[in-house]
Structures are given as C-alpha cells and as structure tokens.
C-alpha cells in the first residue's frame, strides 16, 4: 500500500478493483471528483482577505498535507460484503469508509487515506467533534450479531500496522464507532476482540484488576470524559464504555467496570 504515502490526491488509492465490471461507472465518478479536488489544491493563494487578486502573493515553503489522527472501526450492519460495496458506491446512501474488510479477509481500499470519508456522522471524542476530518474509517463485514472471522482480524491487524506506521497514529486513537457516538451507535459489536488489538498496540486496554482499589471519592463520570467519551448523556456514555471494555450491554458500571475505568483513567492522564 505504498500509495498511501504519497500526498498527491490525484493518485487513486486501491479502489475496489480495476475499472471494469459493475463498478466501472462509480470508479469513473471517483476519478473525476479526485481530479476536481486536486485542481483546488493546486490553486495558488493569490487573493487577499477581501477576495482581491494579488499578483505579488508570497507562498510559504513550510507545509505538508493534512493526515489522519484516528482510526474508527465499524461493523457494516449488512449481510454481505457485496451489499456494503454497493451501498458505498450509491450516491443516495451518503455513507462511505476508507476500507472494507470482507469475511474472507479481502480488504477493499475505497478512498485515498487523505480524503474525508463519510463514516463517523455526528460524533465526538475528547474535544474533537469533526471526526470525519481527522480519521480513517474501516468497515468490517458483519451484521452486528455475529463473531468476526479470523481472516478478518488478521487482515485488520495488518492494515492497522501499516496505518499506525504511516501516519504516527497514537495507540489510544484506535477506537470504535460506539465510542464516538454513545447511544447512537453500537459498532463494532460486543464480540469484537478489542484486547487482541490492544495487545498489538492498537487501542488501550486494562491490566489485571484483581488487586485494584478505587478511591472512595473517585469521579467515574469525569473519568469517562478524560478517557474521551462524550458524557452529555451519561447513561449512553457508560453503555458505550461497557460495550468496549467490559463487553456487556448494560448502562451501569459493575464493580468490575469501576476497576477497569479507574485503570484506564490513570493511563489516559
């Protein structure tokens, strides 16, 4: 995937397949849009603050292209990879992702990593509210109620390794749709192997909590906020935390959950 290292938006990423077959028309639309954005980037900043053309403009020599800082993981909530690919190549759906991983481990790179996919929706993590503008979205073929296949997780780990190295994404910034949209999203589902990812450096996890003692005055809600969750709806925030770290569907912290949150809070400080 060397192409993700080039900051040239006119270079198309590894889109679904070649420019033939059922995606010929949508691949053409992709190339057309990319060329339009590339043209915009190539424009020199010759207008002043009043919109008046200034022939004596001065361009800085110190800049680079914006890069992603988060990876957001999803399950597709559809019944097949083919169905998801169709959804992401249908204009009226208004949803997309950078990558789709099928049950057999096949990975479709549908959008250049430097471009903005429509995958996070209304969301928040820490102080970041426009998640789409700073993230890469990965959709994993799963209807939301089934386990993820070994082939999918193997491909996912390989992809995450490349993305982390290419963009310097912090370990704690590999998160789920459920984390950034409490109460609105629950993906990837409760069977997702978060610990396995964390063991490879993708996302934080907790250590053995057997001998953990939580201070009596510990503020669990503020701890959630420090970890990154939007606590405006506290019940939903605790629910998302439980789905990810406790891996149950309740919206109240158990004694085990309290210890886990305390440990994570100390890691995120």
> For helices 220-227 and 234-241, what crossing angle results, to 10°?
70
Residue 56 has pLDDT above 90, yes or no: no
pLDDT at 71: 98
pLDDT tens, residue by residue, 204-257:
999 999 999 999 999 999 999 999 999 999 999 999 999 999 999 999 999 999
Residue 3 has pLDDT above 80, yes or no: no
Q: Tell me what the mean pLDDT of segment 113-126 comes to.
A: 96
Residue 58 has pLDDT above 50, yes or no: yes
pLDDT at 52: 74
Q: How far apart are CA 167 and CA 68, in angstroms?
A: 7
Write down the mean pLDDT value for the chain.
91
pLDDT band at 139 (very low <50, low <70, confident <90, very high): very high
Q: Tell me what the mean pLDDT of segment 159-175 comes to.
A: 97
pLDDT at 86: 96
List of residues 6+ apart from 22 with CB closer than 8 A: none
CA distances from 190 to 139, 173, 185, 193, 249 (A): 15, 19, 12, 9, 8
Inter-residue contact 105 to 149 (CB < 8 Å): yes
Q: Which of 17, 132, 31, 20 is nearest to 82 (CA)?
A: 17
Annotated catalytic residues are: 139
Q: What is the 3-state secondary structure (H, E, C) of the chain?
A: CHHHHCCCCCCCCCCCCCCCHHHHHHHHHHHHHHHHHHHHHHCCCCECCCCCECCCCCCCCCCCCCCCCEEEEEECCCCCHHHHHHHHCCHHHCCCCCEEECCCCCEEECCCCCCCCCCCCCCCECCECCHHHHEEEEEECCCCCCCCCHHHHHHHHHHHHHHHHHHCCCHHHEEEHHHHCCCCCCCCCCCCCHHHHHHCCCCCCCCCCCCCCCCCCCCHHHHHHHHCCCCCCHHHHHHHHHHHHHCCCCCCCCHHHHHHHHHHHHHHC
- Tell me the whole-structure pTM to 2 decimals: 0.89
Winning range, highest mean pLDDT, from 2-11, 61-70, 164-173: 164-173
Residue 4 has pLDDT above 50, yes or no: no
Inter-residue contact 211 to 263 (CB < 8 Å): no
CATH 3.40.80.10 domain residues, the chain: 2-199
pLDDT at 43: 83
> For helices 220-227 and 255-268, what crossing angle results, to 10°?
50
pLDDT tens, residue by residue, 178-196:
999 999 999 999 999 999 9
Q: What percent of the chain has pLDDT over 70?
A: 92
Q: Tell me what the mean pLDDT of segment 28-41 comes to.
A: 94
CATH 1.10.8.420 is right for the domain spanning 2-199: no
Residue 25 has pLDDT above 60, yes or no: yes
Four-residue CA torsion sign, 231, 237, 241, 242: positive
């Amino acid at each position: 995937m060397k192409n993700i290292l080039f900051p040239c938006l006119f270079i198309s990423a590894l889109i679904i397949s070649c420019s033939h077959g059922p995606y010929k028309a949508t691949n053409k639309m992709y190339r057309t849009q990319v060329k339009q954005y590339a043209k915009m980037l190539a424009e020199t900043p010759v207008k002043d603050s009043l919109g008046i053309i200034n022939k004596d403009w001065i361009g800085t020599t110190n800049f680079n292209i914006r890069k992603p800082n988060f990876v957001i993981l999803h399950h597709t909530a559809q019944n097949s990879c083919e169905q998801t690919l169709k959804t992401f190549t249908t204009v009226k759906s208004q949803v997309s992702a950078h990558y789709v991983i099928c049950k057999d481990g096949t990975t479709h790179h549908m959008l250049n990593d430097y471009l903005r996919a429509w995958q996070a929706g209304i969301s928040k993590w820490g102080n970041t509210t426009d998640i789409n503008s700073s993230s890469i979205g990965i959709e994993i073929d799963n209807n939301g109620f089934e386990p993820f296949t070994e082939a999918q997780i193997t491909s996912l780990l390989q992809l995450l390794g490349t993305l982390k190295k290419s963009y310097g994404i912090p370990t704690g910034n590999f998160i789920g749709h459920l984390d950034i949209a409490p109460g609105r999203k629950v993906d990837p589902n409760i069977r997702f192997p978060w610990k396995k990812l964390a063991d490879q450096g993708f996302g934080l996890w907790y250590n053995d909590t057997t001998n953990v003692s939580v201070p009596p005055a510990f503020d669990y809600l503020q701890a959630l906020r420090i970890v990154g969750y939007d606590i405006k709806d506290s019940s939903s925030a605790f629910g998302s935390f439980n789905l990810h770290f406790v891996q149950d569907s309740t919206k109240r912290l158990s004694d085990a959950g309290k210890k886990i949150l305390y440990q994570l809070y100390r890691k995120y400080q």
